[in-house]
Amino acid sequence: MTKEGKALLQLVERFNIVEIEEVDSKEEVLAQIPDLFAGLAAFSRLSYPRYLKRYGTLKRYGILSEQEEENEQEEKLTGSERYRFKLLGYFNRCCKKHKFGVSLKSSEGLWTPNPNNPINFWTFKAQSSNEETKQISLSHF
């Protein structure tokens, strides 16, 4: 059995999975949750510097330099970016409030230092030169 096959078998046994079937996410709304988390995690990593400028500590305490303030005025957010930044901030506050152990700041994107916490965000790190990561466009989220 391959390494991937063993990992899948362990998941099936651990969570007592009897069957996995494809569903229409319009009818089964809960099926959208993994996509939401994956998209939010990717967005948080790719857009963290812009998020920090807009909603982070530097702006909150008025520490941005004059040049950064000018750049910020020139940098316009799209409607979807504005919505995603608000969602990211709300999600981060909820994680802190409920002590889920999710960090946004320490890894410049959503990350869970302790994988035993209820919500687990992690970044793929290649273990060997044979492993590759896929780069996908943020527009998919």
> Which tens digits make up the pLDDT trace of 58-106?
555 555 555 555 555 556 778 888 889 889 989 999 999 999 999 998 8
pLDDT tops 90 at residue 138: no
Q: How far is CA 112 from CA 32, 49, 56, 62, 80, in A?
A: 21, 19, 19, 29, 25
Prediction pTM value: 0.65
* 115 neighbors 102 (Cβ within 8 angstroms): no
pLDDT tops 90 at residue 19: no
